[in-house]
Every structure is written in C-alpha cells, then in structure tokens.
Chains A and B, each alone.
Chain A
Amino acid sequence: MKFPAFAYAVPETIEEALELLASDADARPLAGGQSLLPIMALRLAAPSMLVDLGRIDMLRQCVVGPDRMRIGAMRTHAANAACFDVWAQLPLMSDALHHVAHQAVRNRGTFGGSLAHADAGAEMPLVVSALDGAIILRGPHGERSVPAADFFQGHYTTAIEPGELLVAVELPYSPLQWAFEEFARRSGDLAVAMAAVGVDLDGDVCRDVRILLGSVGERPIRAHDAEAFLRGRPLTPGAITEAGRMAVAGVAARSDIHADPAYRASIAAVLVSRALDRLARGDF
C-alpha cells in the first residue's frame, strides 16, 4: 500500500523539532523509520506531519561518564553495537544488540526509536529496564527524567507525552554479571521471549541477582520472587530450574500469532534457567 499523504519537516535543532511538534497535534517524530514507515504503509497510522530527527546532531551524541553513559536517542543500533564503550561498560546491551533485527535494519533503526516504539518483543526496552536506566524526555516545558520502570507502560505504550521528544537514555554501569537469552522463531525476529539475568556471585552463592523477562508480558517484567528465592543461595542445577519456574509463576503471558501464553511462559522459564546456568559456569 501507499503512504497516506503527510507533511515532512527536517529541523536542525531539538528546539525547532519541539516547535514543529507543538504546531500540529498529529505530527510524529521520525527516527530510523524502521517501524513507523511500515505502519504507515499499512495505513495503520496516518500522521499529518513527520518531523525527521535525522539532522539533529545533538541527538546522536554519546557521553561516557565515570559511572554511567548517556546515549543519544538517534544513535543507531549499528553504531551502538560497534561502540567500544558500550561493549566495555554495558556488555548486556552489547549482547542484546546482536539479536536486534538484521544489519540493514540496524543501520537505520535507532535506540530512541526502539524505546519510543516500545514493542513488547523488542530487546532495548528490556536492556534499559534491566540496567535501571533513565529515559530523558524534553518537551515544551523542559526536560524530565523517567525511570525505565515507569517509562514502559505496555505494548507500544510509554510515558512520552504528546509534544515530547525522547532525547537520550542514561544507563548506569551495573556491578552485576549479566547474561542475555532470547528465543525467536528465526534469527533477527522480534523475541517470542527473552531474559536478562544479572548476578553477583560469591563462589557459587548468589549475593545479588536481578531477573527480567521480555516479550512475556506487555512490558518488561521483573521476577521479584525468583530473585528473592536465589538471594543467598548457591546456584545449583536444582535452584536454577526452580528459579526459572518461579520467574514465570503467576505471570499472565501475552499471546500472538507466534506463541500461545503457556508456550511463551515455558520458554521464558527455560531462558532464565539457561542464563543462570551460563552465569554459574562463568560463561558470559
């Protein structure tokens, strides 16, 4: 199908972009276009104006601080995947980026676009939630920082208010060792289920642990019970299996054409166990 008609603007500064968005309630920011353009071609969205963020250099910057990194919204998946600092300081993100789409899509798709789009099956929302990142939003009335836990509200739903731009993400360096596991139908597909698991091990005893499930619910889910169960416990095969089971116990998994809820939950449990198993074996 063909796009519905729309106006197109290419601002060079964030302020200009915000003005354009304020001028038209049906205007939408355009980042890499890897999600928005297909949706428009299917006529599932018909924005009156596209505000192309591609020429705003500020949005591509990456600031590497001593305890955190601030990554601009318009950094592409490819740029982040090739970034030494991301690899060195945010290995979880580095790992997960390998599962995002295919090279051609990673060359265009952006970090900010992925978070703003908030597909339940996307990797970056899970990573940002796992690392307790903060999403920096700028609107007509200034900037605010929203913790990941509040930012992702559902499949395609976030805390971004009309007229606001996602400008950057702040990701603290985690003291935990992380493992990322994903199950997709084919390589490069959105996840059927994924797990991000971080541990701080003392020998084989779990001093601290953080477990998040992606694509199981409408937004990233933290497995508090499984975390509590593991804290202070050795990572034995039995504990690992049990933690996987607990991580999905009581979770109402979502259903789509790719997987039924029971299958999804079962896969998620397997992924949590596999991640824990890798961490226990020091394979990360």
Chain B
Amino acid sequence: MDAPTAPSCRSTGTSVRRRGLARIVAGKAAYVPDQHLPGTLDVAFARSPVAHAHIRSIDIGRAAALPGVVAVRTMRDLPGLGSLSSTWEVAGQRHCPEHALATDRLRHVGQAFAVVVANDRATAERAAALVEIDLEPLPALLSVDAALEPDAPRLYPDWPDNEAARAEWLVGDPDAALDGAALVVEESFTSQRVHPLSLETRGILAAPDGEGGVTLWVSTQAPHQVKMAVASALGLPEHRLRVIVPNVGGGFGMKAYPHADEALLARLALDLGRPVRWIEDRRESFVSSAMGRDQRVDLRVGFDATGRILALDGVVTLDKGALIGQSSLGTAWVGAAFLPGGYAIPAVRIIARAIVTNTPQTGAYRGYGQPETNLALERTLDIAADRLGISPAEIRQRNFIVPAQMPHMIATGVTLDSGDYPRLLDMTLERFGYEEARARCAAAAASPVRRGVGIACYIETSNMAPSAAAAYLGIRAGSFDLLTIRMEPTGHVRIDTGQTELGQGISITLAQLCADELMMPVEDVVVAHGDTALPAFTSYGTAGSAGAGVGGAAVIKGAARLRDKLLLWGAHLLQLDAAAVELASARPLGDEGAPRAVVRDKADPGRQVAVSEIARAAYFFHSAPDGVDPGLEASVGYDPPGFAISYGAVAVEVAVDAETGKVAIERMTFGHDCGRVINPAIVEGQISGAVAQAIGATLYEAARYDEEGRPLSTSLMDYMLPLAADVPPIDLVHLETPSPLYPHGVKGVGESGTIAVPAAIMNAVQHAIGTGTTLTALPLSAERVWEAMRTTAQI
C-alpha cells in the first residue's frame, strides 16, 4: 500500500526564522571582546598627530616605564614582521607595502607608529600618549586635486606621481559619437567619503597555541584570507594558524580583507607568550579602518534627439587615501565596469584611476563603487530627459537592454545574465503611483514645502566569477567555495561552510537549501562557520554579495553528492538497484506525525527506509554497498560559472523645506530582482538595511577633515548616521528571474539597497527644487540644498 506522500515541505521561498536572534537582541551574543582567555593583555596604538611627516626618531622610554606596561614596540623592534600585499593587483599598479606600524614616514593623521601592550586598555592608552615622536613635517596632500597637481610632492618617493593604479575601457568611437550627438550632458558627480561604520568595530584576540602556532579571534568577513595574510607576514606555515570568527556585528565590506594589525597581534602573542587583544574603539575606527566611497565621476554622455544614448565618456577618480591597501583600484574598477548599467551604449571610453592622498585609506564599502557611478549616470539621464522634454521613466525605457537580448555583454565586458529591466521599472512605477505623484509635485511647486519624485535604476554585480575571471581582474584569490556536509548517525545534518555569518543570515539560507535538497525539515540542518579549522574554505571571503550564490550553490552540490550516497545506501538496505529508488519526504505508514526523509522504491513507494536508519547503518558499517566508505559525508568544491547580475528600480517622493533645505524622504518603492529568493525576510532585511545606509550617505554622513588633515568626525555625536525616524517605510516590489548560471537561480542581494538610492533621492530633490542649479554632489545636507535653492532663486 502507498504511504501518503507529505505535502511539499520546501523551505526555500519561505521566511524561515533565523536562529539566535533573541540572543543577539538580548545582548547575549558573544563577539570578539566577549572571548575571555586568562592572562590576556590589551593593546593600544600611538598614532600620528600629523598628515605627512618624516619620522626622525621615536622614544618609547616614558611609555615603557609606566607601571602596568608589558611591551612597547615600533616597527624597528619587530624584525622579520612582513607586510601585506594588495588583494587587488591590477596590471601596472604601483606598490606600497601595508605595514602594521609606520616605518620611516607618516602619511595620514592616525597612522599607527608604535604599539603598547599593557595589563589593561586604560594603561595601554595612557602609555600610548607617552610615546614620543620626533617629526620633520612634509606638505600634506588632502585632496585628489592637490595630489594631481603636476608639481605635487609624492607620497611614495619611488613613484613617478601620486597615481596608484589605472584601468581603461574603449569600445567604438565615443569622440565621433559625441560630436554627432543632439545633446551632450557633461557633469562631474561626487560621492563623499563615508564610514562603513559597523556597530561592532574591528577586534582581534591572538593567543599562542603552545606549539609554535597562533589562534586568532577576529571580527572579519574573510577568515581564510586573514589566515593566509598573517601566515605570510609572520613566515609561519598555514597549518600553524587558526582563525575563529565569533559573532560579528556587521562588516559592510570594511572587514572583507585582512589587515596588517592582525599579523602584528599574532606576532605579539608569539613574542610575549600571552594572549593579546585589540578592540578598536569608535574614535580610532575613523582612522584605523578603511573608509568608503570618495569618488568623483567626470562624465560626458551623448544622446540623440529621442533620448537614446550614443556614447559615454567617463573618468572615475578614487581618493585612495594614503594606502593602496587591499582593495587597490577595486572600487573604482567595479564602478567603471558597471557604469553603463542596464542600458545599451554603443560607444564607451571609461578611465578608472586611484590617487593617493594624506588621508586614511578608503576601501570596500557595501556597493563597492557601484553607487558612485550609478549616481553619475542616473543623474545624467534625468538631466537629459529634462533637456529633451521627455519623462525620466521614458528615457530609461528607451535605453534598456531588453530580455530578448539576454544574456548580453555590455561595452565594459560584463555579461548581464538575465532579467526584464523594462518590466520591473513599469511594475515599480505602477505600485508607486508615478504619474499621480508627479502631478502632486507640480501642484506644490511654489509652496513652502516643495515636493519631488525621483527614480533611478541599477544593476548589481554578484559572485565575481569564475576564478579565472578573478585572475583577469587581478584579484589574488579565487571565487570558489569548498565545504563539507555531514549526516550524523541520527540522520541530522551539519554543514561546514567557509562563509561567515555577519548578522546577514547566511547560515539559515544555507540550511534551507540543504534541507530542500535532502527533503528534510530545516530544523534538522545546522551550519557551522567562522573557523578555519573546519573542513571548508571560502576563497574571496563573505563579500561581493556572493554568500547565497556561491556558498549556496556549493551547498546544493554537496547535498546532491550526499543524496547520491543515501540512494546507494537505501538501495542496499532495500535490496534494490540504485536506479530503482528515490529520495522522498513521506509520513511513515499509519503515522500522523511530521514527514521525514526516506529512500523508497520508485515502483512501490510503500517500500521505504528512513534516512535516519540509513545514517545509522552507514556509521555501523556492518554491511555496506560495494565500494562505499563508512560514514555519510560529502566534501565538494564549487567554482561559480559567472557573474549573476541583480537589478532594480527605485522611486522616492521627497518633501523639501523651501526655507531650510531640509529633505524628508516620505516614501520609497523599491523594485528588485535578485533571482530566486531563498528567504524573503532575509532579502527584505538586506534591502532595508542597505537602504538605511544609503539614506545616511545621501543626506547625513560625511567623513571630513580639517585643513591639517585631522578628522572632523570622531564619534557618533558628529558623524551622523540615519536614525530609525529618518528611514521611511519601504514598499518592496519583487520580480524573480532565476539566474540561468546557477543551480538555484540565485543572484546576490546584499548591496542592492545601496546602489540607486542616492541617485533616486538626488533626482527627487532636483525635481522638487527645479532645475536652476544642477545637483551633483553628496551629501544633500539641508545646507547644501538650501544653497542650491538660493542660487536657483537668484537666476
């Protein structure tokens, strides 16, 4: 008799609740500072008071004499401690080794030049203030323009100038096309420097393992890269190092790469034979962690009279700060490569360049260069639409790459895998009520509260892949994932992944994929992560919106491998041919309980054996199928086949106080397509969180420096993050076009929310205040909008 087949128990596509949330909310989750090892020493750094100087000498005498101080070191006292080289290494790029402590020169305010190890952090801070440094000041270059002056002093004397790296794209004949264009829009757009500002700052605990090796607890997105970099800087073989990542309170790209201080802490732990800990405080995070954005895009775009783009000519200039760092040209490169967006542009010239200045370094931040170039093109489209007398929606529709053209390689060589850009924009505008909203705005044109509507579209790169493409980009890492899936003797499953849980919910996402593949309830799957001792490896760290795409596809591959083993075992136990059985989810005969995974006879589904019984048999191994190893485990490697390109459209309505310039975002409709959605709540969380960060970067945040290069914001009192009240309700519109490249059809979503929001808001504010003064620079602080309105009024 047939056993009743259970209704589908698929968990993908449903908002399975993440685990451990209550502990996080209750403050009980353990982060790096919550790891307690007996005898731990605390570390603080002596940091540069000036933006640029030669170091004549450093005197650690007074600091070392302070009671409670265990050690004070400068680079001179750490012979053999190597530097880090860049993760991104584009052709022709210049080099500046990344040392934990300055050697002969200070290149930005806050650069560390000595490290103090003491019994407690307060003592270490006091001692750090006692380290004396004798300096010979050098002229400081505090902007890209200053660094590009022909006679500008050089930050690195062995370079010919201050350009760290450059890349160029040239397709077609953009000059001729621009000459023949009916309209050329030429503007310079700037995205200011912001702080990625994870609520948990960076943190490192390093402990000698007693056998010549070191265990590190690090707040990072990339434990395997940290292990590799630390091993290389210390000259240790990698099996002597273990990196553990406890709970992480956000990373946003800032924690996506290794840091030289991680190697320094490991070295101090080995030298002193005791655990040492550095927990970055908020204030130093403004100089000791990489900042985000700080790009200018000089853009010329030519249109025909109907608004079709003929050519694009752009220069993306990245203020790299004082270090090439791990990401090198990366953010400008990605920004440039994705500058054409989802539009068909026949002729293109784009230059991306990174310039060093005497400011703290910039690096990866959620969006990774894409918001900056998106701002430039999406603003340009609005400016062109206004000059050509067509609507902003229409000009985009006229330029979109359409589904029939997919997959489609755009001018910069990026292949758009799938999607329906025109339809998603239509869906978004319909939900938003675009035409009615524009009419409402027109009616408010002269009122004290102006209203504006703005739209912007984006594409988002995810899964920088395959590994061969990473090599082509100059990334010294692959794109792949190695992982292990093990079925325990009770039939429960554990995934060992190299992906890192940063609060984004990757573990439940992976558990869901695995559960569906093995037809078991998601509660029966656990995910272990954040430890390089696990049999797993993630080549590029949990970044680039690749967790669900690459990590997820690897899980599917591993689960499929495990399923094949289950079928072999099931067939053996049922005394059938492996081809005659299938995996199913079924209730046992006469049982009203939950469905369970079984292997059953395809021809006679009542003949079945529960997966839990198979598991027990595999671990007893009293009788086994031919050629099968004991246990139930699958270790797989998965190299993703290519970029999966998410995309979307954002519509916002703003109110602008005509007398103060204050912008209120009243509502937002966010249309997006990230392929197959595994867990809708997590996707929504990713978008809302990223939108909040984008609103911050658009209206409030700015990391500025005074004329001496000292940071003007060093705390959350003066670095203004958006508060809950500043983030409007976000109305999400979903479209699902599975990526044809991936077994689960998933595209990344982690950065989507950051990309088009600045452009959409700026377009809306421009719409509200009229076109007298063209807005091109972020942030749109009330003061800047007020200035723009004042100038407009005088025209």
Contact = CB atoms under 8 A, between A and B. Distances in A.
Of the listed residues B712, B720, B726, B782, the one surrounded by the most CB atoms of chain A closer than 10 A to its CB is: B782
Interface in A178-222: 183, 185-189
Given A1-B281, A263-B783, A183 B121 contact: no
A4 B281 CA distance: 15
A259 interface: yes
Interface string A19-45: 000000000000000000010001100
B122 A4 contact: yes
Nearest to B724: A187
Contacts of B121: 2
A1 B281 CA distance: 6
Contacts of B281: 1
Given A2-B121, A42-B715, A187 B725 contact: yes
A183 B704 contact: no
A122 to B, nearest CB: 13
Contacts of B783: 259-260, 263
Nearest to B659: A270
Nearest to A190: B717
Contacts of B122: 2-5
A43 B122 CA distance: 11
B786 A263 contact: yes
B126 A38 contact: no
Given A4-B126, A257-B712, A185 B782 contact: yes
Contacts of B89: none
Contact of A38 (B125, B662, B717, B726): B717
A266 interface: yes
B782 A186 contact: no
A254 B726 CA distance: 26
B440 interface: no
A267 interface: yes
Nearest to B706: A257
Contacts of A258: 718
Contacts of B787: 263
Contacts of A38: 715, 717
B712 A187 contact: no
A174 B123 CA distance: 53
Number of chain A interface residues as a range: 20 to 34
A185 B723 CA distance: 11
Contacts, number: 50
A2 B722 contact: no
Interface in B660-699: 660, 662
Nearest to A267: B660
Interface string B699-723: 0100010000000111101101011
Contact of B723 (A187, A257, A270): A187
Interface string B364-383: 00000000000000000000
Interface in A18-75: 38, 42-43
B283 interface: yes
Contacts of B126: 4
A281 B684 CA distance: 45
Nearest to B124: A2
A187 B781 CA distance: 14
Nearest to A1: B281
B713 A1 contact: no
A267 B722 CA distance: 22
A257 B704 contact: yes
Of the listed residues A38, A259, A267, the one surrounded by the most CB atoms of chain B closer than 10 A to its CB is: A267
B447 to A, nearest CB: 15
B704 A186 contact: no
Given A3-B122, A4-B122, A263-B786, A257 B718 contact: yes
Nearest to A274: B659
A190 B787 CA distance: 22
Nearest to B281: A1
Contacts of A2: 120-122, 125
A57 to B, nearest CB: 32
Interface in A255-277: 257-260, 263, 266-267, 270
Contact of A183 (B662, B700, B712, B723): B662
Nearest to A189: B720
A263 B787 CA distance: 8
A43 B783 CA distance: 31
B574 to A, nearest CB: 63
A270 B660 contact: yes
A188 B698 CA distance: 20
Nearest to B662: A183
A106 B712 CA distance: 27
Contacts of B284: 1
A187 B787 CA distance: 22
Interface of A: 1-5, 38, 42-43, 183, 185-189, 257-260, 263, 266-267, 270
In the A-B complex, the 5 residue pairs with the smallest Cβ-Cβ separation, listed nearest first, are A2-B122, A270-B659, A263-B783, A2-B121, A257-B712
Given A185-B720, A185-B781, 16 more contacts: A1-B281, A1-B283, A2-B121, A2-B122, A4-B122, A183-B660, A185-B782, A186-B700, A186-B723, A186-B726, A187-B726, A257-B718, A258-B718, A263-B783, A267-B660, A270-B660
Interface of B: 120-122, 125-126, 281, 283-284, 659-660, 662, 700, 704, 712-715, 717-718, 720, 722-723, 725-726, 781-783, 786-787
6 contacts: A1-B284, A2-B122, A183-B660, A186-B720, A258-B718, A270-B659
